[in-house]
Amino acid sequence: MSDEAQAFWDGVYRGRDPSRHGEPHPALREALAPIRPGRALELGCGDGTTAVWLAARGWTVTAVDISGVALDAAAERARRAGVSSRITWQRADLRDWTTRETFDLVTALFLHTPLELDAPAVLARAAAAVRADGTLLTVGHFTLPPWAWDPHDTDGLLSASELSTALGVHEPGWRTVLAKEVPRALTGHDGQAGTVLDAVLHAVRTTTPHPPRPTTAGPAPTRS
């Protein structure tokens, strides 16, 4: 586990208000509307907003993050919501993380960091954990808000279609429900307003999963 990454994200979550009440991404709510709850995996769970929301709706969740500070806050959030028994928290560096389990839902929202991270490789391992008839939902930044670490540093941010190709979701064995850049209005921690484009990939596996293969993402698109 990277000490640098752990220290960075611990610092991020120490600076956040633990009482804030976040909402899951609209794409997640829409994707899960017709789906019966089952076993879910969330990568980069942070302080538990999505994991707790899933558990409250009947999902059994495995939630992974590198930050012990974030996981402590997430566990407290789950306790207050009365869903602790439905969530397993795992502390791990996603660069090294892997699993042999399969899930009805695998989700990862905004694996964006100023530190080194091969997000397509991480997401390829996650996609391999989706069982037959299971759902993969990833949401990534395609553009960044003004209060991002470096709002103009969009190198490596993939479109939804590029991510689909990088993960092999465009190949037989998957059905793509949505691969699109979706606008979203948002407010920063200090009340700033902004609009960004999110790269949303929603796919359903149609065959039994196979082990992940090495994946290399293509170049990031040029933004006007």
On whether the CB atoms of residues 146 and 36 are closer than 8 A, the answer is no
Q: Does pLDDT of 185 surpass 90?
A: no
pLDDT of residue 223: 45
Q: Nearest CA to 142 among 130, 129, 133, 154? A: 154
User: Which tokens is 30 given?
Assistant: 């829409």
Residue 224 has a pLDDT of 38
Q: How confident is the model at residue 13 (pLDDT cuts 50, 70, 90)?
A: confident
Whether the full predicted model's pTM is greater than 0.75, yes or no, is: yes
Which residue ranges make up each domain of the chain?
Answer: 3-205
User: What's the CA gap between 77 and 99, in Å, rounded?
Assistant: 25
CATH of domain 3-205: 3.40.50.150
Q: Which sign, positive or negative, has the C-alpha torsion 145, 125, 218, 208?
A: negative
* β-sheet bridge partners, residue 79: none
Question: Residues 160-183: pLDDT tens digits?
Answer: 999 999 898 988 999 999 999 999
Helices 68-81 and 49-56: angle between axes, nearest 10 degrees: 30
Alpha carbons 210 and 217: distance in angstroms, whole number: 19
Residues 74-113: tens digit of each pLDDT:
999 999 999 999 999 999 999 889 999 999 999 999 887 7
CA atoms of 107 and 73, how far apart (whole Å): 20
Please give the mean pLDDT across all residues of the chain: 87
Position 50 pLDDT exceeds 80: yes
